[in-house]
Structure 1
Amino acid sequence: MSDSNTTAFKNPTTFILLGIPGLEAAHIWISIPFCTMYTIAILGNFTILFIVKTEPSLHRPMYYFLCMLAVTDLVLSSSILPKMLSIFWFNSREINFSACLTQMYFIQCFSGMESGIFVAMALDRYVAICNPLRHSTILTNHFVAKIGLTVLLRSCLLILPIPILARQWPYCRTNIIPQPYCAHIAMVNLACADTRISSYYGLFVLFCVMALDVIFITMSYTQILRAIFSLPTKDAQLKTIGTCSSHLFVILSFYIPGLFFFLRYQFNQNVPGHFHVLIASVYHLIPPMLNPVIYGVRTKGIRGRLLRLFTHEGA
């Protein structure tokens, strides 16, 4: 009997997602802010794509990178929210094994792509401020396309071994995942095999993607700030800072919550499990929601096009 129980999860056909363990009674209420964030993310990012496509004056590298970010945010949020809301609303907790691995891959892949796009946007700001006369000759459409392809391939190829390794593990403990989505760390905890290679590779990916990206962005903005403070007048300094402010807000909204979550998970094990799950879920949804809002409010080209659109419709 014990043998049959042990082998039942060797190759599970489905996993069970618990949602937010300990807060099951509040799932309906929790779904309200999550659904609101998802709606804002969908509408906001589609609006960014529509405005850039229909406004020829925005056909420039900064806005191309912004479109890449919008597409990434749409895929990232749509990889998580529909299944999460089905758990909260309909108690639909089962997920196919292959679908679980696919979801895990998309979450990690597009999170890495988002980080890479921030590096590309930092490069654009660096060239625009530190070498403005050569901006159009350096960041050509062909070069921007190469950057986008590099960001895509880097993330896709680096993340690919993670679900491949996860598929090979035996799952002889349980097929219950105490989260509302298929997270890598959750699947590592379910495997009854030596998963050190996967853990080490996960740290390697974290360093190759997030750590190196943060270092590059920091270096870029160090040079940008030096160039800004060397400008002759305060007005010129403030105007130049304004062109970078929206990008800085977006970077902070992406990396600071991620750092907070990572530190809480690593060094504060007394925090209740449902708090970790809730914070991790919110972390994946805040950037897709905030990015179009921040760019819509603080980017002059997009804000002006929105105002003209609504003014024209109102007239």
Structure 2
Amino acid sequence: MSDSNTTNFTNPSTFILMGIPGLEMDHVWISISFCTMYTIAILGNFTILFIVKTEQSLHGPMYYFLCMLAVTDLVLSTATVPKMLSIFWFNSREIDFSACLTQMYFVHCFTAMESGILVALALDRYVAICDPLRHSTILTNSVVAKVGLAVVLRCGISALPYPFLVRLWPYCRTNVIPHSFCDHIAVVNLACADIRLSSYYGLFVLFSVIGLDAFFITVSYIQILRTIFSLPTKDARLKTFGTCGSHLCCILSFYLPEFFSSLTHRFGHKVPLHVLVLIANMYLLVPPMLHPIIYGVRTKQIRGRLPKLFSRKGN
């Protein structure tokens, strides 16, 4: 039986992004915090890149990985925030179907890439603490480049099925996405088909990529803690553990909202929709904003270069 109010949206030409459903009246106020976080993320990550590029003494494995993290954060936030702000400020809700798929690919690819780089930073901390005499011979520039390439290839390939799965389903109910960006699960929920394949693939990536990364980081830190606790004095233990502080803060700021958002989107049926969307926005905005602040404040080598950077600008 046909419904006169139903339109066939099979591979629609455009989608409509609602922003944050239920909080439309507060979009302008929300946009101020989003714009502030995005500005801090842009300035902070470009500052990290500039300092590492100009300071020869920072041309080492940890800082190369940190530059990769900064580039990833810049791409991840820029892929989503400008469109969010256009929704909040100009009510520009339409997004082309192909642009939606492109945004989806970038979000999932660079989210996984960020996770992979955090594993690379954990590897750097592991070698620096557990085998410090061989750090420079193990993590050579060639090895760092290979690790970076492996992360890029893994994430690029694992994110490829997302847009193909979206194209696979027919959309016969609506093209209105109750979200502020083209998240995979939010888009396929509009399909009038059995989307379990999409849901299962999303969970597979969550646990086999993000989850496996979290496992490797945990194993690395178990070994790091064993080495730290074997040090003879309390001061030595605290000083060594302090070198991991920045990385641990970055791990928590990324993995906690990532897992919470992914799982509540699939299983948190009683969680209000606006809460789910806000959490999804937070895991795209908060890590890019916090990472340069954390490393800028906690890393002595970068912190020491900041006054020189601003004094140069002042001259």
Give the TM-score normalised by structure 1: 0.96
In the alignment, what sits opposite 1:293?
Answer: 293
Task: Letter of the 1:187 partner, please give it.
Answer: V
Task: Letter of the 1:221 partner, please give it.
Answer: Y
Q: Does 1:61 align with 2:61?
A: yes
In the alignment of these two chains, the number of paired residues is 315
Task: Letter of the 2:191 partner, please give it.
Answer: A
In the alignment, what sits opposite 2:51?
Answer: 51
In the alignment, what sits opposite 1:183?
Answer: 183
In the alignment, what sits opposite 2:125?
Answer: 125
Task: Letter of the 2:60 partner, please give it.
Answer: R
In structure 2, runs of 5+ residues without a counterpart are none
Post-superposition CA distance 1:103-142 (Å, at most 9, x none)? 0110010000000000000000000100011110110000
Task: Letter of the 2:149 partner, please give it.
Answer: L
In the alignment, what sits opposite 1:276?
Answer: 276
Q: CA RMSD in A?
A: 1.7
Distance in 2 of aligned mates of 1:264 and 1:15: 23
Q: Write out the 4+ residue segments of structure 1 that deviate beyond 6 Å after TM superposition.
A: none
Alignment of 1:205-224 (within 5 A): 205-224=205-224
SS at match of 2:111: helix
Shift in Å at residue 280 of structure 1? 1.3
Task: Letter of the 2:27 partner, please give it.
Answer: H
Residues 5/11 of structure 1: CA separation in 2 closer, same or farther (3 Å cut):
farther
In the alignment, what sits opposite 2:16?
Answer: 16
- 2:185–2:198 CA contact under 8 A, matched in 1: no
Residues 3/262 of structure 1: CA separation in 2 closer, same or farther (3 Å cut):
closer
SS at match of 1:15: strand
Residues 162/265 of structure 1: CA separation in 2 closer, same or farther (3 Å cut):
closer
Residues 197/268 of structure 1: CA separation in 2 closer, same or farther (3 Å cut):
closer
Shift in Å at residue 266 of structure 1? 4.8
Distance in 1 of aligned mates of 2:149 and 2:4: 48
In the alignment, what sits opposite 2:251?
Answer: 251
SS at match of 2:10: coil
Shift in Å at residue 310 of structure 1? 3.0
In the alignment, what sits opposite 1:143?
Answer: 143
Percent of aligned pairs with the same amino acid: 73
Distance in 2 of aligned mates of 1:258 and 1:276: 12
Post-superposition CA distance 1:26-69 (Å, at most 9, x none)? 11111000000000000000000000000000000000000000
Q: Does 1:166 align with 2:163?
A: no
Shift in Å at residue 296 of structure 1? 0.4
Give the TM-score normalised by structure 2: 0.96
In structure 1, runs of 5+ residues without a counterpart are none
Post-superposition CA distance 1:205-255 (Å, at most 9, x none)? 111211100110000000001101111111111111111110001101111
Task: Letter of the 1:101 partner, please give it.
Answer: L
SS at match of 2:79: helix
Shift in Å at residue 193 of structure 1? 1.8
Residues 268/197 of structure 1: CA separation in 2 closer, same or farther (3 Å cut):
closer
Moved more, 302-311 or 234-243: 302-311
